[in-house]
Homo-oligomer: A and B are copies of this chain.
């Protein structure tokens, strides 16, 4: 590295102390919202901070306080395919809004299974105070590894393996509602493009769907698995059509897969919803803009991000009696496809 650029931060805490007429310690106490500071001092410090445009040096805070004042958002998936997913975008937005105003930075980390070790080393070295995990496939080794090093963690989506705190949409109930709705429409040959078997989200939505069909005394055998891409959604739809050319409804376990399914349905001359009713899941940006607009199960991904963050921060703050896991409600959004 050559001649790395350096810059001197502006005001230091000492100057704030001078202007406010108190000691550094008092300024520090005010900044950290501690008790035992007189209203008078507090006010003076706030005034000085505003006047000088002071902003504490995070590095020094972290070093002295033995905290990082940062949490990581870990996306463990090959080359961040999830990033393109509106799901992730929503979570990110939620995390960010929950963090707003707190003195906490968000570090974004992506990781392939191959460099899991590096990541664990990094996370265990005090760079962050806790981690949020998203979109891990099945039994992600990251989960037990982080649990072992004692790093507070909250998973977005139910992890398949080890029990760690998590927040998830109520996928089971959402899919159940989708199946009930399709059955209520009088559809009899209801299929599903399910998610991957090795992801809890896939399994949960499939379970809920099957439960709904069972209630209506309908057969539950029309299942094609897929991963969360339009392409594989299309392929799954092809398989379904081959197996049951006369199917009259399909629950696609993610809007993004429904896009592919819709293309295949059109290509086969099936009218939606007349011949085949389609219900998606997520109510992502894809749903409203699909042709035809997609009836879907809405999950509030932004709320998911907020809740995950709240849960993690609460744990970092040492709060007791926190629920190990939380399920967020879903709701049916009716559009043109069913």
Interface residues of A (CB under 8 A from B): 1-10, 32-34, 53, 55-63, 65-68, 79-80, 83-86, 88-90, 92-93, 96-97, 105-108, 110, 121-122, 124-127, 129-130, 150-152, 230, 256, 259-260, 262-263, 266, 285-286, 288-291, 293, 315-319
Using known A-B contacts A10-B125, A59-B62, A108-B106, determine if residue A291 contacts B263 with beta carbons closer than 8 Å: yes
Is A83 a contact partner of B89 (Cβ separation < 8 A)? yes
In the complex, the count of this chain's copies comes to 2
Is A126 a contact partner of B7 (Cβ separation < 8 A)? yes
Is B55 a contact partner of A59 (Cβ separation < 8 A)? no
Interchain residue pairs A-B with the least CB separation, the first 9: A9-B126, A59-B62, A3-B318, A55-B125, A259-B289, A83-B89, A59-B63, A230-B289, A84-B89
- The distance from the CB of A217 to the nearest CB of chain B, in whole angstroms, is 35
A sample of 6 cross-chain residue pairs with beta-carbon separation below 8 angstroms, ordered by A number, consists of A1-B32, A6-B67, A92-B108, A106-B108, A256-B289, A266-B291
Whole-angstrom distance between the alpha carbons of A126 and B197 in the complex? 47
Whole-angstrom distance between the alpha carbons of A97 and B93 in the complex? 21
Complex interface: chain B residues within 8 A of A152 (CB): 5
Whole-angstrom distance between the alpha carbons of A286 and B287 in the complex? 12
Closest to A87 in B: B84
Is A57 a contact partner of B67 (Cβ separation < 8 A)? no
Whole-angstrom distance between the alpha carbons of A283 and B272 in the complex? 26
Is A80 a contact partner of B62 (Cβ separation < 8 A)? no
Closest to A96 in B: B110
Is A79 a contact partner of B93 (Cβ separation < 8 A)? yes
Is B106 a contact partner of A107 (Cβ separation < 8 A)? yes
Complex interface: chain B residues within 8 A of A121 (CB): 53, 55
- The distance from the CB of A320 to the nearest CB of chain B, in whole angstroms, is 10
Complex interface: chain B residues within 8 A of A125 (CB): 9-10, 55-57
Is A127 a contact partner of B259 (Cβ separation < 8 A)? no
Complex interface: chain B residues within 8 A of A66 (CB): 6-8
Complex interface: chain B residues within 8 A of A285 (CB): 84, 230
Whole-angstrom distance between the alpha carbons of A159 and B31 in the complex? 36
Complex interface: chain B residues within 8 A of A290 (CB): 291
Complex interface: chain B residues within 8 A of A316 (CB): 4-5
Complex interface: chain B residues within 8 A of A293 (CB): 263
Complex interface: chain B residues within 8 A of A317 (CB): 1-5
Is B93 a contact partner of A83 (Cβ separation < 8 A)? yes
Whole-angstrom distance between the alpha carbons of A291 and B265 in the complex? 11
Closest to A318 in B: B3
Is B230 a contact partner of A127 (Cβ separation < 8 A)? no
Complex interface: chain B residues within 8 A of A96 (CB): 80, 108, 110
Complex interface: chain B residues within 8 A of A90 (CB): 83-84
Complex interface: chain B residues within 8 A of A315 (CB): 5
Closest to A9 in B: B126
Complex interface: chain B residues within 8 A of A286 (CB): 289
- The distance from the CB of A2 to the nearest CB of chain B, in whole angstroms, is 6
Complex interface: chain B residues within 8 A of A7 (CB): 66, 126, 129, 150-151
Closest to A68 in B: B59
Complex interface: chain B residues within 8 A of A129 (CB): 5, 7
Closest to A56 in B: B125
Is B93 a contact partner of A33 (Cβ separation < 8 A)? no
Is B263 a contact partner of A289 (Cβ separation < 8 A)? yes
